[in-house]
Structure 1
């Protein structure tokens, strides 16, 4: 009996031991499974944290890029505004420049028209003088144009005797032809210049070459006025003595060239400028 109890107790203990070991194994297995799950979750968590850190870094880079782009856009908008303002100013400057060029072209055209008209008047005068005096020898009278001014040069051998300022009869015929031309053109004015050679002269009437040159000029002016009716307001008498020679006074022939009376047709600048002003006024009225 005792033996049976011992055997029963042993069996109970054995059975109890067996059940506890099984549960332990199950628990151990569950613990391992839980640990594996925890390890997996930890790995995923670390991976997520790394991804978050990387994405945060990328997000910062993107935000910095966005801010840079915003700044660039703002700068570009400012530049566009400045360019628009600059373009407007340049357009205004260009318009003013074009207007100035147009005005200058108009002025040049008007001046050219006035010059052409003046040249036409000069040419007509030269033609008339040459037509009236064409039968005289070239050495006695010359007609030329210098810088738009008409000069009629008459040798003293045709006008005066040596050392005299009395106009000869033959000279009056020449001056009559000149007077006819200038009387036909009442708008012109002229200067009568007396010139001598460098041979000194002095007598009871004449003080020097200045005196002789002036008296010869005034003698010509008086003939034009008194004998041929030229308006004295259109004439000026002047003496140049021997200080404006056309040749060196080193020979008789050259001295003869220097002894001359010159009629200079004076350009009437007021008329010339009036032509320009009239042209500018008409051009402006036409443009408007």
Structure 2
């Protein structure tokens, strides 16, 4: 609405009805006209500002309506997904129960393995302590006892075990082998592997072809001595030769070669005990679990 157009009409009407007016009256009318003009200008500005605010509000309302429509669509989609989940709750409960049973069985098996390992570690520690306490200080210079990954390794130097350049057991090795044999017989649940090792110097005897032969013959000599002289059950014993191919030191020095010329007595749990552990593993599900 325009207010400025009304002001001249009012003034003209006043002049016509009253004729000539005094100067003071005219000034008063002029002042009133100016005030009305300012008010009209101010009202027009407010009107324009109101129109702009209305336009902005309309735009925001439209945006909110679009957001509401989008949220309603999302809500409908979620409801449909929920309805689908609820319709398959029965099957889902079966699958979850099956998974829980399998996890429980697996956890029991893992605990069984942990307990078995702890028991084996304890036995190995006792075995090692008993053996080292039975050996003299002089014997300990030629015997090295270690436990690696649950297996007991008794490493015997060739200088103590065999006659020079031979695979025959020396007389001074008898007492040491006797002590080892007593420990082996005390632990009936263990198998014993005798493993021969050499340095890389080729053998020059006519009845021995190479270091493979020498290492195997020396391991066989220890096996037969444990069986025949110290009463270890032969079914628990295995002889094997690794020649020069399992060194523990470099062959470029006399000391390194001496360390490589060794025979190891390896004491391990029996194979059927491992198979028993495998047999106790939880059975796997015959059908894949559906998601």
TM-score by length of 1: 0.65
Q: Does 1:187 align with 2:193?
A: no
Q: Structure 1 residues 87, 192: CA separation in 2 closer, same or farther (over 3 Å shift)? A: same
Mapping 1:139-288, distance limit 5 Å = 139-274=141-276
Mapping 1:4-43, distance limit 5 Å = none
SS of equivalent to 2:217: helix
The Cα shift of 1:147 comes to 1.4
2:196 and 2:215 in contact (8 A); partners too: yes
Q: CA RMSD in A?
A: 2.7
The Cα shift of 1:272 comes to 3.7
Any unmatched runs of 5+ in structure 1?
1-74, 281-288
The Cα shift of 1:267 comes to 2.7
Aligned to 1:27: none
Deviation digits for residues 150-196 of structure 1 (CA, Å, limit 9, x no counterpart):
11000011112331111111101110100111111222111111111
Question: Comparing both structures, which one devotes a greater share of its residues to helix?
Answer: 1
The Cα shift of 1:76 comes to 11
CA–CA distance in 2 between the matches of 1:223 and 1:270? 25
Q: Which stretch has the larger CA shift, 78-87 or 254-263?
A: 78-87
The Cα shift of 1:237 comes to 1.1
Q: Structure 1 residues 86, 157: CA separation in 2 closer, same or farther (over 3 Å shift)? A: same
Q: Structure 1 residues 86, 216: CA separation in 2 closer, same or farther (over 3 Å shift)? A: same
1:110 and 1:276 in contact (8 A); partners too: no
Q: Does 1:123 align with 2:88?
A: no
1:111 and 1:276 in contact (8 A); partners too: no
Aligned to 1:94: 96
1:118 and 1:272 in contact (8 A); partners too: no
The Cα shift of 1:259 comes to 0.6
Q: Structure 1 residues 77, 119: CA separation in 2 closer, same or farther (over 3 Å shift)? A: closer
1:114 and 1:272 in contact (8 A); partners too: no
2:197 and 2:262 in contact (8 A); partners too: yes
SS of equivalent to 1:266: strand
SS of equivalent to 1:189: strand
Aligned to 2:69: none
1:192 and 1:217 in contact (8 A); partners too: yes
SS of equivalent to 1:227: helix
SS of equivalent to 2:175: helix
TM-score by length of 2: 0.64
The Cα shift of 1:264 comes to 0.9
1:194 and 1:214 in contact (8 A); partners too: yes
